[in-house]
Amino acid sequence: MSPSPATGRMAGRVAVVTGASRGIGRAVARLFALEGAHVVAVARTQAALEELDDEVRAAGAGPLMLVAEDLCDFEKIDQMAYALAKRFGRLDVLVGNAGLLGRLGPMGDLPPEMFEQVMNANVTANWRLIRALDPLLRQSEAGRAVFVTSSVGHQARAYWGAYAVSKAALEMMVKVWADELHKTNVKVNLVNPGRTRTKMRQAAYPGEKPETLPTPESHGEAFLRLASADCQDHGATFDLSA
């Protein structure tokens, strides 16, 4: 049985979820909505966001606030923050999930434009989210932020190129921000989901059988715990594959 949005574990909380049109972001956005959150679902594909909204409404929750924008259009992030400030006056949860794999291969063979695209999507866009949404998270009685990382962000692996570099930068950026927030009500953490049945995983490992991997939905409870008002973890990285 689905939880009641009115009495769910996220009832009344305002949550931004990026990369919400598919994979882990979609699963998290759906779960948060079913648990009563006002979900701001961010992704590039309007049609996929509308499908998610239809599904959430059919389950008796929602509606979602849909933001069909490319986060690498950085001014759109500022515009979203302004809209959230006007409508809610705060933000309770940020889930930074959107990411770009780029091309795997030798470091010296990566096209410069692809390297820049990956860094913009995985690092700079998340910095712009922090920059724009930090003030709103501080307005929450229990602001929470969760960013999605990867094992290659802290364990060097040949041929993972720009993606690995970007996740290493993301991890340091989030931890620096967390260190700045110790005297606030905001808690910030990282999640490494590990092997998961997503399109990005399929692109990285085309020979792998998807049915052997955990589903995005299987990680939902971990994100729900880190987004909850009573979560006291801060500046930590949680490995869901462990």
The Cβ-side half-sphere exposure at 173, using a 13 Å CA radius, reads 24
Residues in CB range of 145: below 8 A, 6 or more apart: 93, 94, 95, 96, 130, 137, 174, 186, 187, 188, 189
Please report the beta strands in 118-172, taking only residues with DSSP state E, as ranges in sequence order.
Answer: 144-148
Per annotation, catalytic residue among 82, 159, 163, 205: 163
- Which amino acid is present at 54? D
b/e per residue, 116-134, with b = 16+ CB within 10 A?
eebbbbbbbbbbbbbebbb
* 82 catalytically annotated: no
What is the distance between the terminal CA atoms of the chain, rounded to a whole angstrom? 29
- Which amino acid is present at 22? R
- Distance between CA atoms of 151 and 29, rounded to whole angstroms? 23
Catalytic residues: 163
